[in-house]
Amino acid sequence: MTVLDDIVAGVREDLAEREALVPLAELRARLGDVAPALDPLPGFRGPGTGVIAEVKRRSPSKGHLADIPDPVALAQQYAAGGAAAISVLTEQRRFGGSLGDLVAVRAAVDVPLLRKDFVVTDYQVLEARAAGADLVLLIVAALDDPTLHRLHDLARDLGMTVLVEVHDEAETERAAALDLQLLGVNARDLKTLEVHADTFGRLAPLAPAGALLVAESGIGGVADVERYTGEGAHGVLVGETLVKGGDPAGAVRAMAAVGTGAAR
């Protein structure tokens, strides 16, 4: 069993508990009380770099990163720094997140929010929208093609933007069959947790025309953002560097400024 397989197995166990507490019909009913989803795409069309700033307490590869007792305060700093979107990790076992974090952040900021999790069922997509998420992550490695297409279409029908994540050539080819808006290229192999710095540059040329590209993992600062934008990235997703750096707003502001004034 790979690391990804193990994570998804735990996600399904936790999901079963939530489904028992909130039936699907009740979850659908909640959608009527949620404001329309915000559109994050203008933030990735330049000038500058679209930064998806992440509320992230820990990870399987690095362990504990930051306590983050108040995700709202962190999200407000990201917003002040000009984040194009804020990613809120909701997976509990490996990342220490919760849907409660997402709900709290939604009530406090007007920046588009990404539900960052291992989404493998329709219920989780509906759950994300009901909690106020504007974007949802779909990891190609975790989904077969019928499920990938179904979840993608469901999210779009709900007015959400989908960040489709790939790690290699085969996954990029599968993702290209979708009507892609945001294509995330993750330098971290979720099966081994190893980071390969050349992944983005290798896969970016394979992306379909019109897809906005987001570089994920291994971003330690402005120099990495400059390298990724030079390889074609419209945005970056950053977690560890921001939660450990001491100046989240300043770090987001500096990354977002990369490419300012340049044609995108």
- Cα–Cα distance for residue pair 86/115, rounded to 1 Å: 9
Amino acid at 227: R
- Cα–Cα distance for residue pair 223/209, rounded to 1 Å: 26
- Cα–Cα distance for residue pair 7/20, rounded to 1 Å: 20
What residues are annotated to the active site?
54, 56, 116, 165, 186, 216-217
**Alpha-carbon distance values, 130 to 54, 127, 205, 240 (Å):** 20, 5, 35, 27
- Give the CA count within 13 Å in the CB-facing half-sphere of 222: 12
Amino acid at 244: K
| Positive or negative torsion for Cα 10, 33, 136, 51 | negative
Q: Three-state SS for 253?
A: helix
Q: Three-state SS for 76?
A: helix
| Positive or negative torsion for Cα 143, 231, 212, 242 | positive
